Structure 1
Amino acid sequence: MSRRRTLQDLADAAGLSLAATSYALRGVRGSPATILRVRQLADELGYTVDPIARALASGRTGSVGVSGSLRDLWQQDLSVMLTQALRRHGRYAMIADADADPSQERTIVEQFVAQRVDGAVVSPVDPSAAYWRLLDPAVAVVAIGDALTSRPGTGSVLFDNRYGVHTALAHLASFGHRRVGLLAPALTSTPGRPAEVLAVEVAGRLGLDLVAVAAPAATAEAVAVAAALLSDPARPTAVFCLSDSLAFAAYRAARDVGVRIPDELSVIGYDDHQLAGLVDPGLTTMAWDEDAIVDAAVGQLVGLLRDEAPGAPTFRPVLVVRGSTASPR
């Protein structure tokens, strides 16, 4: 069996010092040509970083936990983008699926603690939960979407859900809808989620009769829940879905029960997933700037690892109107 290649082997092949080789490999110092050459040599030699050696030498593992509800299509894409951005900073993501379940999210936090991650970027299921305090204050943590109110020192990339929810519901109200369904993931078990709480508040101010229904995060599993809502004799004339995954479930449910979109049912989502423009009719939804969100989250994480103060930039969604919303019959 061939021996494991070391950093010294890579340095000898590159004709560089150990320090210069390490910096180039992580992309933190050196010319672009040197960084590219060192990484190509590493691939040719079959060199991989020994995480135990790195942790012993630096006190850090180089790993970052990434947690979200991965059956949600938008969060899947966001996790991939975070992984790519972290890699560019010499960090390696350990992706975990919270599955819109606070108890599963707690288990993930405990796993991050056991695995001694340097940091975590999370899309929290329950941002108010006490289990976030299990992460040591020395661990850099950034929450995307909602702030972790129970863990001081956490960075945040916040969503202006008040604006997003109001804009979506006001769009439906402007068409004359008065009875509106709300499909929200894990509504009853996540009391800390502002978007769901805000929807009830905003609907009251707009004079809407809001019928809130908890649905599984996965599109296929949410179809039955949406179908039950649409089969009710007093069914709503519009459905506001707090993710595009749930909106796609509403599309399938409408087809199954024989309700036409948008003639008999308006549907509005909350993500602008890449499939939103491909379904028929195109999905009206609230769009986020994912690239800017990822840059802000990873930038904050890197800053926290350098002992910089956390921030809390806020992103506001934009209404993208397509063919899924219209006046009720």
Structure 2
Amino acid sequence: MQDLADAAGLSLAATSYALRGIRGSAATIARVRELAVEIGYTVDPIARALASGRTGSVGVSGSLRDLWQQDFSVLLTRALRSRGRHATIADADADPAQERLIVEQFAAQRVDGVLVSPVDPTADYWRLLGPETAVVAIGDALTSRPGSGSVLFDNRYGVETALAHLAGLGHHRIGLLAPALPTTPGRPAQLLAAEVAAATGVELVEVSAPAATADAVEVAASLLTGPDRPTAVFCLSDSLAFATYRAARQAGLRLPADLSVVGYDDHQLAALVEPPLTTMAWDEDAMVEAAVAQLDGPRDPVPMFRPELIVRGSTAGPRG
């Protein structure tokens, strides 16, 4: 570092800031990085961690076959990078066993923090991350690890709003397509859907499907067969809604004339499919900011985000 600072004509601190891109003019940052390449300087992460007690690394975990979680993970990594931190991304693949391995990996790597969309927020393995590691759960709180930060979703409002929209259009038999989690209890949104449907007199037909769009098509198709098929499907992710589009077309059903579909993410593709998808939208930028900020300490009260219904062309009243 001293050799690099001497070559750049800067102090050690200014050289360090320029290398990390967090201080200094664009020209200074570019010049320091070019000089680092010329003299063969690279940062030793172990030495940095020993000197500072921090690795600068934050683990990011989610089920990345879900399209919205893919995009959200990208937003988290960008926010971390803007703060001089780097992300280690891991795919839990909607599998608690895989999620446990990821937690063990993060603990072994001594990451400074973890941002996680948990598969199983009640699991004991979250305790493997010691109190020195800042952990922030996005969506559901980690009940087995008190003191963790949280960014919560107002799923009750989201489910009530989506089902009320369909019921208001005249749909009385509605399919519910939920992510399949074979070894964990029902997710809060899924449990709330049954409760809300019972309170409003809507008949709900529940089916679980894989998170990946292509894998979910066959499961979605099972909802759409028979004379008593639902006239609408509420999907607890836009990935599952896209699978329902494909299954409906294979069954010869027109959207929304024969079938209405509502999603739950407002993924960037929701406005591009045909017909554009009616879905629940989240303030992603605000959620990312709230999650990353809590790496420096949980907030009180815990931030909770309420989704907004975006009505597009995939919903209409049932034919006849």
TM-score (norm 1): 0.91
2-side partners of 1:196 and 1:39: how far apart? 50
2-side partners of 1:164 and 1:220: how far apart? 25
How do residues 20-35 of structure 1 correspond to structure 2 at under 5 angstroms? 20-30=14-24, 34-35=28-29
Q: Is the Cα contact below 8 Å between 2:90 and 2:102 reproduced in 1?
A: yes
1:285 equivalent in structure 2: 279
Q: Is the Cα contact below 8 Å between 1:61 and 1:118 reproduced in 2?
A: yes
Which of 234, 240, 252 aligns to 2:228? It is 234
2:211 equivalent in structure 1: 217
Residue identity opposite 1:313 in structure 2: P
2:100 equivalent in structure 1: 106
2-side partners of 1:228 and 1:113: how far apart? 42
Distance 1:179 1:187, change over 3 A: farther
Distance 1:264 1:25, change over 3 A: same
1-side partners of 2:115 and 2:41: how far apart? 28
Q: Is the Cα contact below 8 Å between 1:127 and 1:192 reproduced in 2?
A: no
- Is 1:146 the equivalent of 2:136? no
Q: Is the Cα contact below 8 Å between 2:94 and 2:181 reproduced in 1?
A: no
- Is 1:76 the equivalent of 2:70? yes
Unpaired segments of 5 or more residues in structure 2? Answer: none
Determine helix, strand or coil for the equivalent of 2:193: helix
2:304 equivalent in structure 1: 314
- Is 1:323 the equivalent of 2:317? no
- Is 1:17 the equivalent of 2:11? yes
Q: CA deviation at 1:115?
A: 1.4
- Is 1:195 the equivalent of 2:189? yes
1-side partners of 2:228 and 2:276: how far apart? 26
2-side partners of 1:218 and 1:95: how far apart? 18
Determine helix, strand or coil for the equivalent of 1:212: strand
**Post-superposition CA distance 1:228-285 (Å, at most 9, x none):** 1111332111100011000000000001111111111100001111111111111000
Q: Which moved more, 1:292-301 or 1:16-25?
A: 16-25
Residue identity opposite 1:250 in structure 2: T
Q: CA deviation at 1:90?
A: 1.5
Q: CA deviation at 1:197?
A: 1.1
Q: CA deviation at 1:127?
A: 1.2
Q: Percent identity?
A: 77
Q: Which moved more, 1:225-234 or 1:282-291?
A: 225-234
2-side partners of 1:43 and 1:84: how far apart? 24
Structural RMSD (CA):
1.9
Distance 1:210 1:117, change over 3 A: same
1-side partners of 2:91 and 2:292: how far apart? 19
- Is 1:269 the equivalent of 2:263? yes
Q: Is the Cα contact below 8 Å between 2:95 and 2:181 reproduced in 1?
A: no
**Post-superposition CA distance 1:268-308 (Å, at most 9, x none):** 0011111111111110000111112112111211x23xxx7
Q: CA deviation at 1:29?
A: 4.9
How do residues 132-211 of structure 1 correspond to structure 2 at under 5 angstroms? 132-191=126-185, 193-211=187-205
Residue identity opposite 2:264 in structure 1: Y
2-side partners of 1:231 and 1:245: how far apart? 21
1:60 equivalent in structure 2: 54
2-side partners of 1:166 and 1:10: how far apart? 59
2-side partners of 1:63 and 1:310: how far apart? 25
**Post-superposition CA distance 1:202-244 (Å, at most 9, x none):** 1111111111111000000000000111113321111000110
Q: CA deviation at 1:107?
A: 1.3
Determine helix, strand or coil for the equivalent of 2:104: helix
Distance 1:176 1:294, change over 3 A: same
1-side partners of 2:145 and 2:14: how far apart? 38
TM-score (norm 2): 0.93
**Post-superposition CA distance 1:299-325 (Å, at most 9, x none):** 211x23xxx767621111111111100
Determine helix, strand or coil for the equivalent of 2:70: helix
Residue identity opposite 2:316 in structure 1: A
**Post-superposition CA distance 1:126-150 (Å, at most 9, x none):** 1121111111111011111111111
2-side partners of 1:158 and 1:47: how far apart? 43
1-side partners of 2:248 and 2:87: how far apart? 38
Q: CA deviation at 1:183?
A: 0.7
